[in-house]
Amino acid sequence: MRLLLHILAILAVMLVVLGTSACKLTPESQRTVEEKLSVPGLEESLIVRDRAIAAAVVVSLHADVELAQNKLEVECRSGKVILRGKVPSEKLKERAEKLARAQKGVRDVLNEIEVDESLVDSRISLDDF
Protein backbone atom coordinates (compact mmCIF):
# COMPACT_ATOMS: atom_id res chain seq x y z
CA MET A 1 0.00 0.00 0.00
CA ARG A 2 2.87 2.33 0.86
CA LEU A 3 4.46 1.56 -2.48
CA LEU A 4 1.26 2.40 -4.33
CA LEU A 5 0.95 5.73 -2.49
CA HIS A 6 4.58 6.50 -3.30
CA ILE A 7 3.96 5.81 -6.99
CA LEU A 8 0.84 7.99 -7.01
CA ALA A 9 2.77 10.82 -5.39
CA ILE A 10 5.52 10.58 -8.02
CA LEU A 11 2.91 10.57 -10.79
CA ALA A 12 1.19 13.63 -9.31
CA VAL A 13 4.49 15.56 -9.13
CA MET A 14 5.36 14.59 -12.70
CA LEU A 15 1.95 15.69 -13.96
CA VAL A 16 2.35 19.07 -12.26
CA VAL A 17 5.87 19.51 -13.66
CA LEU A 18 4.85 18.46 -17.16
CA GLY A 19 1.70 20.55 -17.06
CA THR A 20 3.44 23.73 -15.93
CA SER A 21 6.34 23.41 -18.33
CA ALA A 22 3.92 23.16 -21.28
CA CYS A 23 6.27 20.81 -23.06
CA LYS A 24 5.11 18.24 -25.53
CA LEU A 25 6.14 14.64 -24.99
CA THR A 26 7.74 12.98 -27.95
CA PRO A 27 7.54 9.18 -28.26
CA GLU A 28 11.15 8.98 -27.05
CA SER A 29 10.58 11.19 -24.01
CA GLN A 30 7.36 9.29 -23.25
CA ARG A 31 9.36 6.04 -23.17
CA THR A 32 11.91 7.65 -20.87
CA VAL A 33 9.17 8.81 -18.48
CA GLU A 34 7.59 5.32 -18.48
CA GLU A 35 10.96 3.68 -17.81
CA LYS A 36 11.63 5.97 -14.86
CA LEU A 37 8.17 5.30 -13.46
CA SER A 38 8.50 1.53 -13.54
CA VAL A 39 8.70 0.22 -10.02
CA PRO A 40 10.49 -3.06 -9.43
CA GLY A 41 8.17 -5.64 -7.94
CA LEU A 42 4.97 -3.68 -8.57
CA GLU A 43 3.48 -6.23 -10.93
CA GLU A 44 4.39 -9.08 -8.60
CA SER A 45 2.82 -7.30 -5.62
CA LEU A 46 -0.41 -6.77 -7.56
CA ILE A 47 -0.50 -10.48 -8.42
CA VAL A 48 0.02 -11.37 -4.76
CA ARG A 49 -2.76 -8.97 -3.75
CA ASP A 50 -5.18 -10.57 -6.23
CA ARG A 51 -4.27 -14.04 -4.98
CA ALA A 52 -4.88 -12.93 -1.38
CA ILE A 53 -8.29 -11.51 -2.33
CA ALA A 54 -9.22 -14.72 -4.16
CA ALA A 55 -8.11 -16.81 -1.17
CA ALA A 56 -10.23 -14.70 1.19
CA VAL A 57 -13.26 -15.17 -1.06
CA VAL A 58 -12.68 -18.94 -1.26
CA VAL A 59 -12.42 -19.18 2.54
CA SER A 60 -15.65 -17.21 3.00
CA LEU A 61 -17.47 -19.44 0.49
CA HIS A 62 -16.19 -22.60 2.19
CA ALA A 63 -17.27 -21.27 5.59
CA ASP A 64 -20.88 -21.30 4.34
CA VAL A 65 -22.33 -24.81 4.81
CA GLU A 66 -24.53 -24.66 1.71
CA LEU A 67 -22.02 -22.98 -0.59
CA ALA A 68 -19.22 -25.32 0.50
CA GLN A 69 -21.12 -28.21 -1.12
CA ASN A 70 -20.62 -26.70 -4.57
CA LYS A 71 -17.56 -26.59 -6.80
CA LEU A 72 -17.16 -22.85 -7.18
CA GLU A 73 -14.21 -21.22 -8.89
CA VAL A 74 -12.87 -17.83 -7.84
CA GLU A 75 -10.62 -15.67 -9.97
CA CYS A 76 -9.38 -12.18 -9.17
CA ARG A 77 -7.87 -9.60 -11.54
CA SER A 78 -7.06 -6.10 -10.36
CA GLY A 79 -9.41 -6.47 -7.41
CA LYS A 80 -12.29 -7.66 -9.60
CA VAL A 81 -13.59 -11.08 -8.56
CA ILE A 82 -15.11 -13.55 -11.03
CA LEU A 83 -17.28 -16.34 -9.61
CA ARG A 84 -17.99 -19.49 -11.65
CA GLY A 85 -19.66 -22.81 -11.00
CA LYS A 86 -23.14 -24.18 -10.30
CA VAL A 87 -25.48 -23.87 -7.34
CA PRO A 88 -28.99 -25.26 -6.82
CA SER A 89 -30.77 -21.93 -6.24
CA GLU A 90 -30.76 -18.23 -7.07
CA LYS A 91 -30.57 -17.56 -3.32
CA LEU A 92 -27.18 -19.32 -3.11
CA LYS A 93 -25.91 -17.51 -6.20
CA GLU A 94 -26.76 -14.17 -4.59
CA ARG A 95 -25.25 -15.25 -1.25
CA ALA A 96 -21.96 -16.17 -2.96
CA GLU A 97 -21.80 -12.75 -4.58
CA LYS A 98 -22.60 -11.00 -1.30
CA LEU A 99 -19.84 -12.92 0.50
CA ALA A 100 -17.34 -12.07 -2.26
CA ARG A 101 -18.22 -8.36 -2.17
CA ALA A 102 -17.72 -8.30 1.61
CA GLN A 103 -14.03 -9.20 1.36
CA LYS A 104 -11.43 -6.47 1.80
CA GLY A 105 -9.90 -5.28 -1.46
CA VAL A 106 -12.73 -6.44 -3.73
CA ARG A 107 -13.55 -3.67 -6.21
CA ASP A 108 -16.26 -5.50 -8.16
CA VAL A 109 -17.79 -8.96 -8.59
CA LEU A 110 -18.77 -10.63 -11.84
CA ASN A 111 -21.13 -13.45 -10.89
CA GLU A 112 -21.08 -16.12 -13.62
CA ILE A 113 -22.49 -18.83 -11.33
CA GLU A 114 -25.20 -20.90 -12.98
CA VAL A 115 -28.34 -22.05 -11.18
CA ASP A 116 -28.92 -25.79 -11.69
CA GLU A 117 -32.02 -26.89 -9.79
CA SER A 118 -31.18 -30.55 -10.35
CA LEU A 119 -28.52 -30.16 -7.62
CA VAL A 120 -31.18 -29.59 -4.94
CA ASP A 121 -31.77 -33.28 -4.18
CA SER A 122 -28.19 -34.08 -3.21
CA ARG A 123 -27.59 -31.09 -0.92
CA ILE A 124 -27.92 -30.29 2.75
CA SER A 125 -29.88 -27.09 3.25
CA LEU A 126 -30.01 -24.90 6.33
CA ASP A 127 -33.75 -24.66 5.68
CA ASP A 128 -34.00 -28.37 6.60
CA PHE A 129 -33.13 -27.64 10.23
Q: How many structural domains is the chain composed of? A: 2
Cα–Cα distance, 111 to 116 (Å, whole number): 15
**pLDDT higher than threshold 70 for residue 59:** yes
Residue 114 belongs to what domain range? Answer: 43-128
Within this chain, do residues 84 and 96 fall inside the same structural domain, yes or no?
Answer: yes
The mean pLDDT value of the chain amounts to 82
**Per-residue pLDDT tens for 18-43?**
555 555 656 666 666 555 566 778 88
Instruction: From 61, 77, 63, 65, select the one nearest 113 (Cα to Cα).
Output: 61
Q: Side chain identity at 53, as an amino acid letter?
A: I
89: CATH: 3.30.1340.30
Q: What is the pLDDT of residue 112?
A: 97
For residue 88, with 0-12 CB atoms within 10 Å meaning exposed, 13-18 middle and 19 or more buried, which class applies? Answer: buried
**pLDDT higher than threshold 70 for residue 76:** yes
Within this chain, do residues 14 and 51 fall inside the same structural domain, yes or no?
Answer: no
Q: What is the pLDDT of residue 8?
A: 65
Length of the chain: 129
| pTM for this entry | 0.66
Within this chain, do residues 34 and 81 fall inside the same structural domain, yes or no?
Answer: no
Within this chain, do residues 66 and 32 fall inside the same structural domain, yes or no?
Answer: no
